[in-house]
Structure 1
Amino acid sequence: MQKDLQELSANMNEMVVKGQLVDAAEKYYASNIRTVEFDGTITEGRPAAMKKLNEFVGSIKKVKEITFLRSAVDDNASFSEYILSFEMTDGSEVYLHEIVRSLWENGQVVEERYFKG
């Protein structure tokens, strides 16, 4: 499982770096995905998580940077660290140094928690 999870996590990270955030989620989110934001906001289920992600991606005017820094895998968890910078359609700028902890079951992400780096 460790090697398989390393491969799954690496593939997901590749998609994110290419800006394929929605595609990565469609490919890897389980139907019972649970996401937990920095502020503790929880989204339950794939339809709600995909809606939220699509709304966020739709509000991006320009991707300024998506840099993958590093990752680690332990048991059924993967950790990925990114720098993300976006110009939004409302004129604001978003800069994130983010760590994403993903819990996996059967090749799918069942929980994703976001931490500020």
Structure 2
Amino acid sequence: MTNPIEAAESASNALTAQGRILESIDQYYADNCVFIEPDGASRTSKDAERAHLEGFFASLKSFESATLHGQAVGDNFSASEWTFKMTAGDGSPIIWHETLVRTWQDGKIVSEKYYTQA
């Protein structure tokens, strides 16, 4: 039997890998989800994160890929390692190597913290 968090994590990650990040947020994140950036900045709702990402994506020339390198799932916990490749509005490349650590409650993500990698 598949762990329900593992199934939801895999489905959320599949949407992200397809570039459908906003859909993943809509489906898998709690309304009061807290998003924490590597510098400690945070957003305290799904709506705030969605607005933040809509603005960011609008500033891009293109979003090339989101590559999932691996994921791990535990009790009300998941983590996934990613490489995101994009092109900024000015044409410069953006490459992010991130690990996303998530806490789950009642089948929804209630917190997500981003860790950047060199």
| TM tier, smaller | over 0.9
SS in 1 for 2:38: coil
TM normalised by structure 1 equals: 0.92
**What is the aligned-residue identity percentage?**
28
Per-residue deviation, 1:63: 2.0
Indicate the RMSD between aligned Cα atoms, in angstroms. Answer: 1.3
Per-residue deviation, 1:91: 2.7
Match of 1:23 in 2: 23
1:97-116, aligned counterparts within 5 Å? 97-116=97-116
CA distance in 1, matches of 2:26, 2:54: 11
Q: Following superposition, which runs of at least 4 residues in structure 1 exceed 3 angstroms of deviation?
A: none
Which structure 1 residue ranges, 5 or more long, are not aligned? none
CA distance in 2, matches of 1:7, 1:40: 29
Match of 2:40 in 1: 40
CA distance in 1, matches of 2:72, 2:94: 25
1:79-98, aligned counterparts within 5 Å? 79-98=79-98
Per-residue deviation, 1:4: 0.6
TM normalised by structure 2 equals: 0.92
Match of 1:10 in 2: 10
Cα deviation, 1:32-53, whole Å, max 9, x if unaligned, reads: 1100001110111122111111
Per-residue deviation, 1:24: 0.5
Which structure 2 residue ranges, 5 or more long, are not aligned? none
Cα deviation, 1:24-81, whole Å, max 9, x if unaligned, reads: 1111111111000011101111221111111112222212221110000111111010
Match of 1:54 in 2: 54
One-letter amino acid matched to 2:82: Y
CA distance in 1, matches of 2:108, 2:64: 29
SS in 1 for 2:98: strand
